[in-house]
Amino acid sequence: MRAAYINEFGPAHSIRFGPLPDPRPGTHEVLVDVEATTANHVDTFIRSGAVETPVDFPFVVGRDLVGRVAGTGDGVTGFRVGERVWCNSLGHAGRQGAAAERAVVPAERLYRLPDGVAPQTAVTVVHPAATAYLGLVTHGRLRAGQTVVVVGAAGNVGAAMLVVAAAAGARVVAVARARDAAYCRDLGADVVVDREADGLGDRLARACPEGVDVWADAAGVNDLTTAVRLLARRGRVVLLAGLHTTPVLPAGPLYVRDGSVVGFAITGATAGELAQAAGCVNRLLAGGRLRPREVRVLPLSATAEVHRMLEAGELHGRRVALTTG
């Protein structure tokens, strides 16, 4: 099979594209013929060595795939050859990645794709949407009727957060550029606050008169001073971006509100947590509510270039589907 892989941690141009031995499924694994994969920022962290995780070289990069079942291990039940499936947790913790013509996936990390959903659409949203669910619902404990603020609401994860929060019955306040206001409202935002105008904290206070139950920062700004000031009693701040930020924490205002700050990275999610997220993702996919803003389709051989574009900030909310065909 052909694959995008590295022989050592390094920059984007260290990714090679060429033949590797076909993988074989273990007892509790499924062999998948990959139709489409993609690249996320977390893939660049792992490829570069910025996030430590066990890998075996040559190491196939990539977390996410959509494909068809090609075979199963002896201990696997419930999957049929030819079924279209998806996964969003390969390429770390000792698992080879998805950027290949074939991949093996632990059965507990593989999910059926709803009928009628295009592979190139699904593969670009399953990682952001699962991140959104885990950040808001699992770690943020978001419930219907609560108020959530999403910073970076027009980005890939932020946009998914708007959809997930609206589906959960929350009141959704988006922080985004004015030019993205219509897009955010279309995804489910009740209020959009211009992140570039003066007095952001005061405008958010007016938009959230009873306080913020969940503050989710998908942009990596991590302004804890503003976030904590606006929290409702027992409000939660969820940090999931901004790997190198070192914000100041207003500890006094936080504890007198019974508030909390939690860090969350999808790389650390358990198989059970990912399965719960997958249920939400599939419901939203089936309902047509999860959709990428713009998809660029490239061949799998362009994986190194997509990593470079991600790190250079050249995609600006666009997603890339890397196809094996």
Residue 157's SS3 state is: helix
Short-list 76, 80, 65, 81, CA closest to 26: 76
Half-sphere exposure of residue 141, counting CA atoms within 13 Å on the CB side?
10
pLDDT number for residue 21: 97
Quick check: 51 pLDDT over 90?
Answer: no
Top pLDDT among 111 and 196 is at: 111
pLDDT number for residue 113: 98
Residue-range domain boundaries for the chain: 2-113+294-323, 130-267
Short-list 127, 111, 113, 114, CA closest to 37: 127
Residue 298's SS3 state is: strand
- Yes or no: say if 15 and 6 are a contact pair by the CB < 8 Å rule: yes
Neighbours of 244 (CB within 10 A): 6
Sign of the alpha-carbon torsion through 63, 66, 70, 74: positive
User: Can you give the pTM of this predicted structure?
Assistant: 0.94
pLDDT number for residue 14: 97
Quick check: 47 pLDDT over 90?
Answer: yes
- Yes or no: say if 3 and 103 are a contact pair by the CB < 8 Å rule: no
Quick check: 243 pLDDT over 90?
Answer: no
Which residues have a Cβ under 8 Å from the Cβ of 57 and sit 6 or more positions away? 6, 7, 8
The predicted-structure confidence for 77-129, as pLDDT tens digits, reads as follows 999 999 999 999 999 999 999 999 999 999 999 999 999 999 999 999 999 99
- Yes or no: say if 138 and 58 are a contact pair by the CB < 8 Å rule: no
% of the chain with per-residue pLDDT over 70: 100
Residue 285's SS3 state is: helix
Quick check: 30 pLDDT over 90?
Answer: yes
- Average pLDDT over every residue of 60-77: 97
Among the listed ranges 101-110, 292-301, 314-323, which one has the minimum average pLDDT value? 314-323
- Yes or no: say if 36 and 72 are a contact pair by the CB < 8 Å rule: no
Which CATH superfamily is 2-113+294-323 part of?
Answer: Medium-chain alcohol dehydrogenases, catalytic domain (3.90.180.10)
Which CATH superfamily is 130-267 part of?
Answer: NAD(P)-binding Rossmann-like Domain (3.40.50.720)
Using 50, 70 and 90 to split pLDDT, how confident is the model at 244? confident
Integer angstrom CA distances of residue 117 from 85, 109, 212, 290: 11, 19, 35, 10
Top pLDDT among 241 and 179 is at: 179
pLDDT number for residue 242: 82
